[in-house]
Every structure is written in C-alpha cells, then in structure tokens.
C-alpha cells in the first residue's frame, strides 16, 4: 500500500484553507498560519464556516519536512515567505505558487520571485476559476497547473489532483501567471461598469476586449496567447468578473457607484490584488509596445484620474479598428 504524501500549505487565508481541505482527501496536510492559534483549532478566521478535517495539522512553524509545498500567500509577501522557507526545505522539494498578481516595483510574477529566492528548486504555478468556499466544501472544481518541464508538471498534476479538484497540466507558466494577474484587473473593470449602471452589454465588452489585450501581451512576452482562453484565463475571468463573491469585482462595483479605493479597502480585511496589479500591467503593455486601452482606463479609474463616464467616453471615442 502506497503511503500518502506529506503536503505543506503555506498560508491560512481562504484559498490556503480550501486547498488544505481538498488535499486532505489524498495526503497528510500541514497548514501553516502566520498567526499562532490554540491547539486543537478546527476552524480558521478566514473561512469560519468550514471545519478542518482531522488529518490537517495547523502550525505556525514553517515546515522542514514535506514532499510538496504550496505557497498560498499574497504575491506582495511571497518573497519574504519563500526566503524563510528556503532555509528549511530540502533542495529537491517542489513548490507550487498559488497566488496571483505581480510584485510591486519589480514587475515580477510569482515564479520569477521563486527563481530568485529558491534558486534551482522545481516549481510550478496553480491557477484557475475557484471560489475558496466551494473548493473547501468539496464542490467540483478544476484548475491549471503549469511548469515549463513537461515530465515534472505531468507527474505533479497527477499527485495533486483530488477527487473533487481536477487539475490540467500546462507548459505555459508565463501565460498562466499573466492570466491570473490580468483577470483581477479586468474584474475590477467589469464591476465598475455594473456599479455605474452601464448595462450588461458594457460588461461583456470590457471582459472580451480586455481578454484580447492580455492575450496579445502574453504572446509579446513569450507565452502562449491561447492560454488566455483556458481555465486560468477565460475560466477564471468568467468567475471573477461575474460572481458577487469576487473581491475584485465587488471592489469595482463600489468604485462604479462613486466610492474611492482607499475607503473601500479600509473596510476590508482581504486582498484585492487587482488594485496593485493594474499599474504594473499597464507598464508592461507600454514596455512591450502592446495597446491595452481597457487595462489603461481601468488603472486610471482605480487611481481616481477618471470617472466611469469619462472612461466610457474615452473608450467609445477611439478610432474604429479590426477585432
């Protein structure tokens, strides 16, 4: 009988809890939380409606023994956490980044950060259309697991697929990461169109055209534009840009209703990665000479430079062009 793998989930936010729960079906799981909790704790603050299965061990000590490690911390905290973890893990233990966005100031995607902080370590990225609560409750879901090494990602996909979370392998980690970063920005734009009562036609146009912009950017940066039309791109975007449970979409709705971003964020204890990613994505478009008019307008809306109706007029006044 094959023994179950030991999987460490680093980060006890909602997504970390959800991944720990689904992986507990196939593995012994350690869930690391930055803030210590009392012994015997079976519910966590970020997903209190979920009771952790008995085979999940909660700890505030970074693990030194694991077969696979999932890094489920915000992108802006990934560098420090991975540096600390690198000192404890054996060099051949693979890590999977499960965060979306880009590091402020460096333009770096999660796997770029890992290449610096954990050099030589096998690494992959997990991304897809998943609300944490549904994954934690065992509802059916799917996601993409990407790494440039085909044999490695094929085997890792097999080892991490659970009875309720189906994983699909990809060899386009750049495209998967850009898709995950861009969808948060696009979701804010979709929310703004709804909050400003511009109608469903406007939301559909924002989603579709921003998706095309991002596909062009992925191609220009060396990835595969078609990745934007898979689970990590279109799939995640459909969920994030239409679901009321999306942090980025709901932030956009509030912006569209006239609230400013500082006031919205002050009321929250969760991260809306799209706010930090938008200006970086805009700069990448400029760097690679790719037109990203919708992403640019969303960035200016977030910063307060434009009102929703000014943004509408600016986009509609652009010269006609081919799709």
Question: Smallest Cα–Cα separation from 56: which of 71, 73, 68, 43?
Answer: 43
Q: Taking 90 as the threshold, does the pLDDT of residue 185 lie above it?
A: yes
DSSP 171: S
Q: Thinking of the domain 6-171, which architecture would CATH place it in?
A: 3-Layer(aba) Sandwich (3.40)
pLDDT 10s digits, 83-127: 999 999 999 999 999 999 899 888 899 999 999 999 999 999 999
Beta-strand relationship, 6-10 and 68-71: parallel
Mean pLDDT throughout 178-199? 94
Query: By three-state DSSP, how is residue 144 classified?
Result: strand
Residues 179 and 227 sit within 8 Å (Cβ to Cβ) = yes
H/E element, 173: helix 173-195
What is the rounded average pLDDT for all residues in the chain? 94
| Residues in Cβ contact with 249 at an 8 Å cutoff, skipping those fewer than 6 apart | 187, 188, 190, 191, 240, 241, 242, 243
The token pair at 47 is: 């997903």
Statement: residue 269 has pLDDT above 80: no
Closest CA to 181 of 97, 270, 62, 287: 97
Q: Does domain 174-316 have CATH number 1.10.1040.10?
A: yes
If one compares 213 and 268, the residue with the highest pLDDT of the two is 213
Q: What is the pLDDT of residue 267?
A: 86
Q: How far is CA 47 from CA 44, 163, 229, 285, in A?
A: 6, 21, 30, 36
Contacts of 109 (CB under 8 A, 6+ apart): 102, 103, 174, 177, 178, 181
Query: Does residue 266 have a pLDDT over 90?
Result: no
The annotated binding site is made up of: 11-16, 34, 100, 128, 132, 183, 236, 246-248, 271, 273
* Residue 79 pLDDT > 80: yes
User: Would the pLDDT of 250 be above 60?
Assistant: yes
Q: What's the predicted TM-score (pTM) here?
A: 0.92
Is pLDDT of 71 > 70?
yes
Catalytic sites, residue numbers: 183
Distance CA 250, CA 264 (A): 10
Convert the pLDDT of each residue in 284-305 to its tens digit.
999 999 999 999 999 999 999 9
Given a cut of 80, whether residue 54 has pLDDT beyond it is yes
Confidence class of residue 135 from pLDDT cuts 50, 70 and 90?
very high
Model confidence at 1: pLDDT above 50: no
Residue 253 has pLDDT above 70, yes or no: yes
Percent pLDDT > 70 in the chain is 99
- Residue 143's contacts (CB-CB under 8 Å, 6 or more residues apart) are 126, 127, 128, 129, 130, 165, 166, 167, 168, 231, 232
| Domain range summary for the chain, segments of one domain joined by + | 6-171, 174-316
Per-residue confidence (pLDDT) for residue 222, from 0 to 100 = 95
Q: Cα separations (Å) of 33 from 74, 170, 294? A: 13, 29, 37
Q: What is the pLDDT of residues 6-27, one digit of tens each?
A: 999 999 999 999 999 999 999 9
């Amino acid at each position: 009988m094959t023994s179950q793998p030991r999987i460490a989930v680093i980060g006890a936010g909602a997504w970390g809890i959800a991944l720990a729960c689904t992986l507990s079906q196939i593995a012994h799981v350690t869930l690391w939380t930055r803030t210590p909790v009392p012994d015997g704790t079976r519910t966590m603050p970020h997903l209190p409606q979920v009771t952790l299965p008995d085979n999940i061990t909660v700890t505030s000590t970074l693990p030194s023994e694991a077969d696979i490690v999932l890094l489920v911390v915000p992108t802006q905290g990934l560098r420090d956490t991975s540096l600390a973890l690198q000192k404890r893990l054996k060099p051949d233990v693979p890590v999977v980044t499960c965060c979306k966005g880009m590091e402020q100031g460096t333009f770096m995607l999660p796997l770029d950060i890992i290449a610096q902080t954990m050099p030589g370590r096998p690494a992959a990225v997990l991304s897809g259309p998943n609300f944490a609560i549904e994954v934690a409750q065992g509802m059916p879901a799917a996601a993409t697991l990407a790494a440039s090494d085909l044999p490695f990602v094929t085997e890792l996909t097999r080892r991490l697929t659970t009875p309720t979370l189906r994983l699909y392998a990809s060899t386009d980690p750049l495209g998967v990461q850009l898709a995950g970063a861009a969808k948060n920005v696009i979701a804010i734009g979709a929310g703004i169109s709804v909050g400003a009562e511009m109608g469903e036609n406007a939301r559909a146009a924002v989603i579709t055209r921003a998706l095309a912009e991002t596909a062009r950017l992925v191609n220009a940066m060396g990835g595969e534009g078609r990745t934007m039309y898979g689970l990590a791109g279109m799939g995640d975007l459909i969920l994030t840009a239409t679901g009321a449970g999306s942090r980025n979409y709901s932030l956009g709705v509030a912006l569209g209703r006239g609230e400013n971003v500082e006031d919205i964020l002050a009321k929250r204890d969760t991260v809306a990665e799209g706010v930090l990613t938008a200006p970086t994505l805009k700069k990448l478009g400029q760097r690679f000479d790719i037109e990203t008019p919708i992403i640019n307008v969303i960035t200016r809306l977030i910063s307060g430079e434009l009102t929703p109706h000014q943004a509408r007029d600016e986009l509609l006044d652009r010269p006609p062009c081919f799709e």
